């Protein structure tokens, strides 16, 4: 029988993460939100435990524990405060992009700082989204123009995570204009490179400690050796990157959904009306039961999809399972947080009750990686046997801007 229950080793890891979450993450959720940043001591502790590098193969400096273990870790941290995950070193999308797009030699060099337990300040990011829609052709407005020995990058990227903290970026740009979304390339850019600038930080609905901002590129010279080729199929490798990172974000949503349900259930046990807890009234009890079913189903779907990637299942099967799991997790987290606010009545809208923050974070996270709409599109394409064209299944400015 197939079981997605954590193994003994995973349970030991999760026990450590759960203890850390209870002591250092959940009690400081409002502090993190107010400061718009995660404190240095929490960052250092996470780096020392190697939590961000759990999925990175041992040959590349990580722990080699796979995507499922990474998902379990992110769920547990998300249970404490999903937003905090976005302000932690090595918890962004960079490593997932590098693992899919880079050669082994490139990956070893790029991931070394993120895998170093002494580096609580090791941040790197992916620059994907753009505000502008190109009306003349499909594809990005950011261009990678071939020059002697490499490329020259010019354009602006938006909604880039931890721009102010990141040392390096994987920047996606248009290499072959005539090929549209099939003509993209990925390049490693360092913050110190000439022509790189950081724009004003965005103020977001939730997850504000993610430090999202624009990244400007003005004739930035990049050597040919800094281009990430994505193996034999760049578009498919990019899709795998988005799918795997979206699954990690979905795990955080599961954690948030669990937390929202627990807070709502506790409140419905304490709050009384007509001489009994409001949780004893059928309408409230049914709402709680539905949200519990939601969270449990999302949890199992995320674990199953992560297990499939680790087991080396067929790409199409993994992508379909991921699309189902991530889309469902986003919807579940939003329903759980929304109902938690509703069940708290007027108190649910007050900033001293955590459920309103959960609702904002859940909505914000549905725009990180692939959105539920993009995931539905991916699932529909696979289910109906349609080709996985880049313009149809990858996030584009024409559909929705994506926080990476």
Give pLDDT, residue 346. 77
Q: In CATH, which superfamily holds the domain spanning 8-120?
A: Acyl-CoA dehydrogenase/oxidase, N-terminal domain (1.10.540.10)
Give pLDDT, residue 287. 96
* Helix H or strand E segment including 327: helix 315-343
Query: pLDDT tens digits for 214-231?
Result: 999 999 999 999 999 999
Query: pLDDT tens digits for 10-40?
Result: 999 999 999 999 999 999 999 999 999 999 9
Give mean pLDDT, residues 75-82: 97
Query: pLDDT tens digits for 268-326?
Result: 999 988 999 889 999 999 999 999 999 999 999 999 999 999 999 999 999 999 999 99
* pLDDT at 94 > cutoff 70: yes
Give pLDDT, residue 35. 95
Query: pLDDT tens digits for 113-123?
Result: 999 999 999 99
Confidence of residue 2 (pLDDT cuts 50, 70, 90): low
Q: Which residues of 57-74 are buried (b: 16+ CB within 10 A; e: fewer)?
A: beebbbbebbbbbbbbbb
How far is 378 from 380, CA to CA, in rounded Å?
A: 5
Domain boundaries, the chain: 8-120, 126-228, 234-393
Q: Which residues of 370-384 are buried (b: 16+ CB within 10 A; e: fewer)?
A: bbbebbebbbebbee
* pLDDT at 1 > cutoff 70: no
The matching CATH number, chosen from 3.40.50.300, 1.20.140.10, 1.20.1250.20, 3.40.50.150, for 234-393 is 1.20.140.10
Nearest to 343 by CA among 258, 292, 285: 285
Under 8 Å between Cβ of 157 and 127: yes
CATH number given to 126-228: 2.40.110.10
Confidence of residue 350 (pLDDT cuts 50, 70, 90): confident
Give pLDDT, residue 402. 80
pLDDT over 70 for what percent of the chain?
98
Under 8 Å between Cβ of 54 and 71: no
How far is 38 from 44, CA to CA, in rounded Å?
A: 10
How far is 97 from 398, CA to CA, in rounded Å?
A: 22
Give pLDDT, residue 132. 72
């Amino acid at each position: 029988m197939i079981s997605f229950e954590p193994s003994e080793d995973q349970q030991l890891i999760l026990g450590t993460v759960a203890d850390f979450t209870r002591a250092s993450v959940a009690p400081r959720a409002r502090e993190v939100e107010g400061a718009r940043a995660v404190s240095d001591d929490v960052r250092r502790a996470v780096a020392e435990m190697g939590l961000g590098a759990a999925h990175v193969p041992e040959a590349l400096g990580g722990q080699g524990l796979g995507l499922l273990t990474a998902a379990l870790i992110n769920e547990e941290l998300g249970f404490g405060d999903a937003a905090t995950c976005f302000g932690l070193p090595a918890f962004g999308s960079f490593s997932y992009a590098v693992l899919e797009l880079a050669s082994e030699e490139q990956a070893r060099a790029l991931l070394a700082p993120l895998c170093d337990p002494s580096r609580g300040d090791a941040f790197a990011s992916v620059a994907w989204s753009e505000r502008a829609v190109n009306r003349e052709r499909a594809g990005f407005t950011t261009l990678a123009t071939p020059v002697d020995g490499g490329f020259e990058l010019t354009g602006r990227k938006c909604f880039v995570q931890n721009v102010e903290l990141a040392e390096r970026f994987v920047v996606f740009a248009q290499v072959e204009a005539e090929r549209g979304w099939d003509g993209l390339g990925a390049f490693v850019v360092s913050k110190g490179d000439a022509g790189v600038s950081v724009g004003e930080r965005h103020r977001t609905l939730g997850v504000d400690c993610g430090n999202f901002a624009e990244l400007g590129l003005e004739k930035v010279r990049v050597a040919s050796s800094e281009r990430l080729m994505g193996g034999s199929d760049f578009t498919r490798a990019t899709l795998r990157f988005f799918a795997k990172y979206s699954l990690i974000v979905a795990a955080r949503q599961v954690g948030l959904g669990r937390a929202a349900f627990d807070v709502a259930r506790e409140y419905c046990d304490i709050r009384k009306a007509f001489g009994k807890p409001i949780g004893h009234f059928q309408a409230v009890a049914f709402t709680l039961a539905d949200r519990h079913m939601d969270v449990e189903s999302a949890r199992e779907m995320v674990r199953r999809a992560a297990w499939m990637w680790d087991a080396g299942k067929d790409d199409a099967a993994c992508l379909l399972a991921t699309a189902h799991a991530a889309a469902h997790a986003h919807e579940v987290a939003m329903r759980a947080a929304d109902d938690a606010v509703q069940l708290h009545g007027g108190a649910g809208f007050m900033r001293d009750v955590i459920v309103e923050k959960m609702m904002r974070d859940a909505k914000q996270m549905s725009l990180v990686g692939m959105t539920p709409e993009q995931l539905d599109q991916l699932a529909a394409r696979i289910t109906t046997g349609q080709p996985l064209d880049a313009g149809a299944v990858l996030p584009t400015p024409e559909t929705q801007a994506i926080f990476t």
